A = this chain, B = another copy of it.
Amino acid sequence: MATSPPALAFSVDNCTIGRTLETLGERWSLVVIREVANGVRRFEDMRRHTDIPRQVLTNRLGSLVDAGILRRHPYREPGERERFEYRFTAKGFDLYPVMVALAQWGDRYLADPEGPPVSFTHRDCGEHVAPVLRCWAGHEIADPRDVVAVPGPGAHPR
């Protein structure tokens, strides 16, 4: 008889991947984060660029500010009232590995034949940026089969 997978003995209630997906919400939240990462920081620019409905965009920006991922930064164009643009907090910048990893997978499997529309590059040298898996002992992990999920300090028996 097959042995039961060890993960079955533990609850998924406090899964931090699940919580991350809840915080990033559905598709539009990560689209907004992508826009900010691309330097599109203002409401009207985002709306015209992405065609997100106005109310949805308002809500998503509000949620991302509430979640501490974006912060509002005031600006004023000549002759206009003060407005806000959206910038990453430190918590928002920490999402870069997620975005770069999503982009790498999408670039590999879902890009048009001519290639992806955006490339993440290193500011200093201009070369393409990719995520690498490495353990705290400094070993680089080329094969994902060498990554093993084990119960962590917050594992709750079911």
Contact = CB atoms under 8 A, between A and B. Distances in A.
17 contacts: A2-B77, A5-B45, A7-B35, A11-B117, A14-B116, A14-B117, A16-B102, A21-B31, A94-B144, A111-B154, A117-B151, A119-B149, A120-B148, A123-B145, A127-B137, A127-B139, A129-B147
Given A1-B77, A97-B104, A133-B131, A14 B112 contact: yes
Contacts of A20: 102-103, 105-106, 110
Nearest to A29: B21
B147 A136 contact: no
Interface of A: 1-2, 4-8, 10-12, 14-23, 26-27, 30-31, 34-35, 37-41, 45, 48-50, 68, 75, 77-78, 88, 91, 93-112, 114-125, 127-137, 139, 141, 144-156, 158
Copies of this chain, whole number? 2
Contacts of A124: 139, 146
A38 B5 contact: yes
A95 B133 CA distance: 12
The 9 closest A-B pairs by CB, nearest first: A16-B106, A115-B153, A122-B135, A96-B144, A20-B106, A7-B38, A5-B39, A127-B135, A119-B152
B26 A26 contact: yes
B130 A75 contact: no
B98 A98 contact: yes
Given A10-B118, A100-B101, 14 more contacts: A2-B77, A5-B41, A7-B35, A17-B103, A17-B106, A20-B103, A93-B144, A97-B131, A97-B132, A98-B102, A114-B154, A115-B152, A121-B149, A129-B134
